[in-house]
């Protein structure tokens, strides 16, 4: 089956009408869609994360990776539980392993984090949380200061340069592995202006970051998964991945379906796009990007902004990083000491994702978003008629 594509102006017009419909009656449509996401993924077990040996590795006790899509590290000698890290493979348009969403590293899990970066051949890290808020650590700094080097287990991490762009810090990092040859390059995007369990004040800066990362990923070759994390690796991380995924579709002329995308993400990691405000914000950002004013002032209708969020599942309260003066906290300038660790073995092969059959809702897009972009990229012609009924590729 071939997918018909549409001009951006037509996608924008239809999507704007769709958003206006959802925003009517105090966001009644948004609320209804978001409520339908409740319980998604609850059938999937998290047995590895609940083992006594692994619970101390979880930053938040109720944010755990599902067994069927958790990232498995190589098992270190005499450490039978060393394959565990609180990280999940999530789809992003091409495959079910396009992204890894993970919690912010703890001091005790930094070695595991960098081992994951090396073993998964990660070349891009997107950090969408500040380091501190009101003195509380939300993310322990896991990379060295500029021109600094730290050793994390068998991985040597060197910060080569830091560029402070208008919306984020962009850090170039070099990696070496003890006992292996070769030098690897990692680009680290640090976006601190995103409050916990909330959204940025305007879509402009996040849209600019998303477009920058999209162009980076599509201009590179042989990339491993892109790592995205906030503090828990679910709310803001899920929002960013959903936005980037749908932007990829829009660029190729495919109308976005936020509901289906978030539902698929939640079958790979709990509470992706954590609250109603974030769910609405994905729509706002897409409208802004479709308008073609990615780096200009926001022109979107503020009426779709949420005033009161839906009740959510119990979770720990987390607030993120600003200094007393209200400015985003810059990365620490402290050197990171080396720690000893034997070189890891060959990493486990990722486990295939098992997903239950799904019936797609009547919406602008009647196709499974996870497989749609991959299908488009491999299709020589896109001029046939768009299917009008629910279809699963």
| Burial 188-205, CB ≥16 within 10 A → b, else e | bbbbbbbbbbbbbebbbb
Please work out, in degrees rounded to the nearest 5, the angle formed at the alpha carbon of residue 227 by the alpha carbons of 101 and 332: 105
**Set 207, 230, 250, 285: catalytic member:** 230
101 is catalytic: no
**248 touches 92 (CB < 8 A):** yes
| Residue in the block written with tokens 């680009």 | 187
**48 touches 55 (CB < 8 A):** no
| Residue in the block written with tokens 């409740």 | 38
Structure tokens at 151: 């050793």
> Which residues are catalytically annotated?
230
């Amino acid at each position: 089956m071939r997918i018909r594509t549409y001009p951006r102006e037509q996608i924008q017009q239809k999507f704007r009408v769709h958003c206006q419909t959802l925003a009517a009656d105090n966001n009644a449509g948004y609320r209804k869609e978001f409520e339908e996401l409740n319980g998604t993924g609850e059938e999937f077990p998290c047995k590895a994360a609940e083992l006594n040996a692994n619970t101390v590795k979880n930053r938040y006790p109720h944010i755990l990776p599902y067994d069927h899509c958790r990232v498995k590290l190589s098992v270190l000698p005499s450490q039978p539980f060393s394959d565990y890290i609180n990280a999940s493979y999530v789809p992003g348009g091409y495959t079910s392993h396009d992204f890894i969403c993970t919690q912010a590293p703890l001091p005790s899990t930094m070695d595991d984090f960098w081992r994951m970066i090396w073993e998964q051949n990660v070349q891009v890290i997107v950090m969408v949380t500040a380091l501190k808020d009101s003195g509380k650590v939300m993310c322990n700094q896991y990379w060295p200061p500029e021109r600094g080097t730290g050793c994390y287990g068998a991985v040597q991490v060197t910060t080569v340069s830091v560029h402070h762009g208008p919306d984020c810090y962009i850090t170039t990092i070099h990696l070496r592995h003890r006992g292996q040859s070769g030098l690897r390059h990692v680009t680290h995007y640090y976006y601190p202006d995103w409050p916990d369990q909330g959204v940025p004040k305007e879509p402009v800066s996040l849209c600019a970051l998303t477009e920058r990362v999209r162009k980076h990923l599509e201009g590179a070759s042989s990339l491993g998964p892109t790592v995205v994390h906030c503090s828990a690796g679910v709310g803001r991380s899920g929002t960013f991945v959903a936005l980037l995924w749908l932007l990829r579709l829009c660029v190729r002329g495919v109308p976005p379906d936020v509901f289906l995308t978030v539902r698929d993400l939640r079958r790979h990691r709990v509470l992706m796009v954590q609250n109603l405000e974030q769910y609405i914000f994905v729509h706002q950002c897409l409208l802004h990007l479709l308008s073609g004013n990615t780096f200009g002032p926001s022109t979107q209708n503020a009426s779709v902004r949420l005033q009161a969020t839906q009740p959510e599942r119990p979770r720990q309260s987390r607030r993120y990083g600003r200094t007393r003066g209200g400015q985003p906290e810059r990365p620490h300038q402290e050197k990171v000491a080396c720690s000893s660790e034997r070189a890891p073995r060959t990493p486990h092969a990722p486990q295939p994702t098992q997903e239950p059959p799904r019936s797609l809702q009547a919406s602008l897009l009647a196709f499974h978003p996870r497989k749609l972009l991959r299908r488009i990229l491999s299709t020589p012609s896109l001029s046939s008629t768009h299917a009008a009924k629910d279809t699963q590729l």
